[in-house]
Amino acid sequence: MKDQLEQRLKEHMSDQVNEATTLRYLLRNGFRKDLVVVFIDSNKSPLGIGYLTDEEGIRDRLERQHDILTLIQEKGSDQLKSTVPKPVVWEKSGAHWILFLSSLPGVPMNQFFNSPSNVNKILTRYLPKAMKWLIHLHKEFQQDNQSLQSLVNYSEAKDSLGEIGREARNITVPMVLQHGDFQPTNLLVNGQQISVVDWEYSAWPGLSLYDVFYLLVHIFRRSTMKQSRIRSLTKTTYRVDDNINLPQTNDFKGAFFEENRYSDIFKNTIQDYCFQLDIDPSCAKILFYLFLARYRGKDLMQVMIKDEADFIIK
């Protein structure tokens, strides 16, 4: 597999690849069974990243990433196009599928969580940058309002929503280009610019506020995580995230229901997004539960509803 991917990528990158170019191989195990290769030039700067797999499920995610990034390159503004990877190769070679993307400059935002003193900087500097980028994306790729009742995940979750579900029957929200994994690991900080990678879980059209909730709960988890765990998660940009890294029930409660140092910032973040996308803030609660059902399942959603705690936005 390594030889096959190396040969195909060198063919497509012949103008940039030379004798000084090296390949860094990362075999992702567990739920991932694909080979990831990072091209490194003589200055140890990445030229691009390649993926190779023979598994159908992973092939579907790679194809989705290719298609969404191609859409952005074709329809997006120049400013937006410069902040996402450019697809270079998407092809089948024998029994394997190959995806190769251009690289982007920057440091993954998750690297800044390695010190408690950085938390305030993350909340006041990097979170606003990330939200500015996300709002830009969602304004450029937005469809007309759609009834929540017509959404698939609403149909699946409405019996669990009880009174909240009945109140939401007539709510309409805009559908947006959803990244689907909008968390610090996938946000690259380069001076004043934010770039975004890893589009395998993207959706078009997708649910408003999904990416916002996703980012905030991951920031909360990493900000409150023990430093030993953070250090183990920030040793490399590309690693397999296990269930320990996924937000747990207490993370959702802390980020969206409890009074703490994050409450006002997260509340203002959600309200500003709603204002920019012309969404009634009172819809945020039902959209949160739909996000929760899609991301972590209806069981956790039911647990949160039964707690009857006050949501961050009334």
Q: Where are the domains of the chain?
A: 2-102, 107-307
Q: Where are the alpha helices (DSSP H) in the chain?
A: 2-12, 56-75, 78-81, 119-121, 127-140, 152-161, 163-167, 210-224, 227-233, 249-256, 263-276, 284-296, 298-307
Right CATH number for 107-307 from 3.30.70, 3.10.20, 3.90.1200, 3.30.1920? Answer: 3.90.1200
Residue given tokens 């409150």 in the structure block: 224
Distance of CA 116 to the CA centre of its chain: 23
Q: Is residue 134 predicted with pLDDT exceeding 90? A: yes
Report the length, in residues, of the chain: 314
Reference 144, options 179, 178, 175; nearest CA is 175
**pLDDT tens-digit map of 179-219:** 999 999 999 999 889 999 999 999 999 989 999 999 999 99
The fold for domain 2-102 equals Phosphorylase Kinase; domain 1 (3.30.200)
Tokens representing residue 114 in the block: 């390695």
Tokens representing residue 194 in the block: 């934010």
Q: Interior CA angle at 215 toward 211 and 221, to 5°?
A: 145
| pTM confidence score | 0.86
Q: How many CA atoms lie within 13 A of 193 on its CB side?
A: 12
**pLDDT tens-digit map of 292-311:** 888 887 788 878 877 878 89
Q: Is residue 236 predicted with pLDDT exceeding 70? A: no
Tokens representing residue 159 in the block: 């019996």
Is residue 204 within 8 A of residue 177, CB to CB? The reply is yes
Reference 217, options 314, 115, 304, 89; nearest CA is 304
Best-predicted range by mean pLDDT (98-102, 144-148, 164-168, 252-256): 252-256
Local structure of residue 124 (DSSP, 8 states): I
Supply the mean pLDDT for the chain: 80
**pLDDT tens-digit map of 52-107:** 788 888 899 999 999 999 999 999 999 999 999 999 889 887 777 888 888 888 88
Give the CA distances from residue 121 to residues 46, 110, 113, 125, 310, in Å, rounded to whole numbers and listed in that order.
27, 12, 10, 5, 28
Tokens representing residue 239 in the block: 């690693």
